[in-house]
Amino acid sequence: MRTAAPRTAFVTGGASGIGRALALALAAKGVAVTVADLVAPDLPGMDLPEMDHVELDVTSPEAVAAAVQAVRRRHGRLDFVFNNAGIAVGGHTEELTLDHWNRTIDVNLRGVVHGVHAAYPIMIEQGHGHIVNTASLAGLVPAPLMLPYTATKHAVVGLSMALRAEAAAHGVRVSVVCPGFTDTPLLDNANPGLPYTETGAQARDAAVRAQGRLYPVESLAADIMRGVARNQALIVAPASGRLAWRAARLSPVGAIRAAALAIGRVSPPLKRT
């Protein structure tokens, strides 16, 4: 009797943080996972027979397309694509340069666009598949002091919701993940490769002050897996994030006022000389 080919998943930013937790959760369910990242995966635990690793810069559309096509050729199918790669860029807006903005747009937005552009036609052709884009709670609520990041995450939410409406007719599912502050290396590597407006330690401290505690990445991965299984359009976690999102929907003006008040607690005004 011929056995069915295993389901496959392609995870960008899969070497650490949310991507790593997702890759491990998928592999535990028998999914053949391709982990794509600029760096080698965070071992141990990632050297599983269910996992392949590929070096990938998501800002290159040609490289993303080639990596996605390679997964389909190798396994004969493409079931899940997690467009998860991202960077954290923030600071007082008047201190940010266009390099901060452009780098964030290239990775956090164009990286998602490249993943969708590569995977969506394949999924339409095969009549099934699930695209899962990682945005942020910052894509749903006012998030000052991180405007490049906030702008791209709002864009990813909008892209995902609109694509979901189109994709349903082709049997393709689309979800977007909006986590609150999660305990990942993203915070420690704030403003990567760019002039720092704050250190990673300052970013982590600010996140703890804003949310109370950082959400464990394994818990978030479990939330995402449940949401994908249920075909949720929007996966928001933790519970405090869902509360903030609902409050912002009920009172956008109130959410802006609350964000303005929080600025002083999270990052005092810069002193001018």
Residue 224, pLDDT above cutoff 50: yes
pLDDT score recorded for residue 272: 37
pLDDT in tens, 237-264: 999 999 999 999 999 999 999 889 877 7
pLDDT score recorded for residue 188: 61
pLDDT score recorded for residue 273: 33
Q: Region 221-229: what's the mean pLDDT?
A: 98
pTM of the full structure: 0.90
Active site residue 196: no
Residue 209, pLDDT above cutoff 80: no
- Beta-bridge partners for 258: none
- pLDDT confidence bin for 192, thresholds 50/70/90: low
Q: Region 178-192: what's the mean pLDDT?
A: 75
Helix boundaries (H) for the chain: 17-28, 61-75, 98-104, 111-126, 147-167, 185-188, 200-211, 217-229, 239-250, 252-266
Q: What gap in Å lies between CA 203 and CA 186, rounded to an integer?
A: 9
Q: Region 3-18: what's the mean pLDDT?
A: 89
Please say whether the dihedral angle defined by the alpha carbons of residues 115, 162, 100 and 146, taken in this order, is positive or negative.
Answer: negative
Domains identified in the chain and CATH numbers: 8-266 (3.40.50.720)
pLDDT in tens, 96-143: 999 999 999 999 999 999 999 999 999 999 999 999 999 999 999 999
Q: In the chain, pLDDT over 90 holds for what percent of residues?
A: 71
Residue 43, pLDDT above cutoff 70: no
- pLDDT confidence bin for 195, thresholds 50/70/90: low
Candidates 120, 149, 196, 215; catalytic one: 149
Q: What 3-state DSSP class applies to 41?
A: coil
Residue 2, pLDDT above cutoff 90: no
